[in-house]
């Protein structure tokens, strides 16, 4: 009898593993949801919709983009973190949801960016930009800084929400440049852009892809960008490094993540679908047309990138004494 028990135990373990193995092998057998934790119209939403169709073609199932905004992306990210780890609910993750928001407001972030997710691939790196409505009295960086320094508290800026990378970047900028501007958080870049373009708010701090169309239409004026070098689309706009603010000169990442515990076979299939989408000339061209840089790294590389960015933003919060609003 004692010899039989180990055998039965092994059979039991193997039987318990069969459903998950079968699920991974059959994946996907129904549409896959790609959740964007911000309102429609922002960079995260834009890139999700660019890659979704080609991902679906590779997976053999429709990839449905859904929006669930709120709390700087934390509400949508938390929903994905708590969903079954079967690959049918994915997150369009970003530096806002995985680094900036958890760093500045950990008490209000109901998930752990490292422990609760498997980060599958960084889709693209995006520059960040400060832009103003054409009615703003300054049209270049020097005049912009001078205007803010001479008028503390007079102006407001909009972002995709509290704890987003736009908020963190703006607060870091305020600290380094010794200016005071009031933060107006929105439920995503789209609503914030709508108000700034309409002239209801003078300043936007956002990812470039969602802002660039308005800049090209001269409905917004770019002031300064966070990018390694000046951008081809904005050759006359300096980087933060050029104006002496190297620590503010950080690009954003946008990628695909899944709940922790998602089977490796499923992760590999999703990763292959992301890579196939980014290899498509049309998809690549559409992403690059937004001002973003296509990445498509490995799950291990993206996981490390999230960990590193979270560490950096935690240090920024401490060093600059940043507080959630």
pTM of the model: 0.84
Which residues on neighbouring strands pair with residue 94, listed in sequence order?
254
Distances (CA, A) of 171 to 31, 311, 313, 320: 40, 17, 12, 9
pLDDT > 70: what percent of the chain? 92
pLDDT greater than 70 at residue 185: yes
Q: Mind listing the pLDDT tens digit for each residue in 53-72?
A: 999 999 999 999 999 999 88
Determine which helix (DSSP H) or strand (DSSP E) holds 92, and give its type and residue range: strand 89-94
Q: What is the mean pLDDT of the chain?
A: 92
pLDDT value at residue 24: 60
Distance CA 274, CA 212 (A): 24
User: What average pLDDT score do residues 131-154 get?
Assistant: 98
In order of their start, the domains of the chain are: 27-124+252-320 (3.40.190.150), 128-248 (3.40.190.10)
pLDDT value at residue 322: 81
Model confidence at 8, pLDDT cuts 50, 70, 90, reads very low
Determine which helix (DSSP H) or strand (DSSP E) holds 147, and give its type and residue range: helix 141-150
Would you say 189 and 210 are in contact if contact means Cβ atoms under 8 Å apart? yes
- 17-47 burial, b at 16+ Cβ within 10 Å, e below that, comes to eeeeeebbeebbeeebbbbbbbbbbbbbbbb
Determine which helix (DSSP H) or strand (DSSP E) holds 142, and give its type and residue range: helix 141-150
Quote the tokens at residue 141: 């960086």
Taking only Cα atoms into account, the Rg of the chain, rounded to an integer number of angstroms, comes to: 21
The residues, ordered by sequence, that sit 6+ positions from 121 with a Cβ below 8 Å of its Cβ are: 255, 256, 271, 274, 275, 295, 296, 297, 298, 299, 302
- State phi, psi for 222 to the nearest 5 degrees: -75, 140
pLDDT value at residue 113: 97
Model confidence at 324, pLDDT cuts 50, 70, 90, reads confident
pLDDT value at residue 43: 93
Which residues on neighbouring strands pair with residue 157, listed in sequence order?
183, 203
- State phi, psi for 276 to the nearest 5 degrees: -65, -40
Count of positions (residues) in the chain: 325
- State phi, psi for 77 to the nearest 5 degrees: -65, -40
Give the residue from 94, 97, 151 showing the smallest Cα distance to 302.
Answer: 94
pLDDT greater than 70 at residue 15: no
Model confidence at 5, pLDDT cuts 50, 70, 90, reads low
Q: Mind listing the pLDDT tens digit for each residue in 214-273?
A: 999 999 999 999 999 999 999 999 999 999 999 899 899 999 999 999 999 999 999 999
User: What average pLDDT score do residues 304-314 get?
Assistant: 94
Distance CA 209, CA 42 (A): 8
Give the residue from 228, 93, 246 showing the smallest Cα distance to 165.
Answer: 93
Q: Mind listing the pLDDT tens digit for each residue in 70-118?
A: 988 999 999 999 999 999 999 999 999 999 999 999 988 999 999 999 9
Distances (CA, A) of 324 to 177, 183, 301, 309: 20, 11, 29, 18
Residue 1: CB atoms within 10 Å: 4
């Amino acid at each position: 009898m004692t010899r039989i028990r180990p055998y039965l135990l092994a059979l039991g373990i193997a039987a318990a593993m069969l459903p998950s193995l079968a699920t991974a092998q059959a994946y996907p057998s129904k549409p896959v949801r790609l959740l964007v934790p911000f309102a429609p119209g922002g960079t995260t939403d834009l890139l999700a919709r660019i890659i979704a169709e080609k991902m679906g073609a590779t997976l053999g199932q429709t990839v449905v983009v859904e929006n669930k905004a709120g709390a700087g992306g934390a509400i949508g990210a938390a929903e994905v973190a708590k969903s079954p780890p079967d690959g049918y609910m994915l997150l369009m993750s970003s530096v806002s949801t995985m680094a900036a928001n958890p760093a500045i407001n950990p008490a209000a972030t109901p998930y752990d960016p490292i422990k609760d997710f498997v980060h599958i691939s960084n889709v693209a790196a995006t520059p960040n930009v400060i832009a103003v409505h054409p009615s703003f009295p300054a049209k270049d960086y020097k005049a912009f800084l001078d205007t803010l320094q001479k008028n503390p508290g007079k102006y407001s800026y909009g972002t995709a929400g509290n704890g987003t990378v736009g908020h963190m970047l703006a607060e870091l900028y305020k600290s380094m440049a010794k200016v005071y501007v009031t933060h107006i958080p929105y439920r995503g870049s789209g609503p914030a852009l709508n108000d700034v373009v309409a002239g209801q708010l003078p300043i936007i701090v956002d990812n470039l892809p969602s802002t660039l169309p308005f800049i090209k239409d001269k409905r917004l004026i770019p002031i300064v960008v966070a990018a390694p070098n000046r951008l081809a689309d904005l050759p006359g706009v300096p980087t933060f490094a050029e104006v002496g603010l190297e620590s503010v000169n950080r690009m954003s990442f946008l990628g695909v993540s899944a709940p922790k515990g998602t089977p490796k076979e499923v992760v590999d299939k999703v990763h292959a679908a992301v890579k196939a989408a980014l290899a498509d000339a049309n998809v690549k061209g559409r992403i690059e047309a937004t001002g973003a840089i296509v990445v498509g790294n490995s799950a291990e590389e993206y996981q490390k990138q999230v960990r590193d960015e979270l560490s950096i933003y935690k240090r920024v919060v401490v060093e600059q004494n940043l507080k959630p609003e």
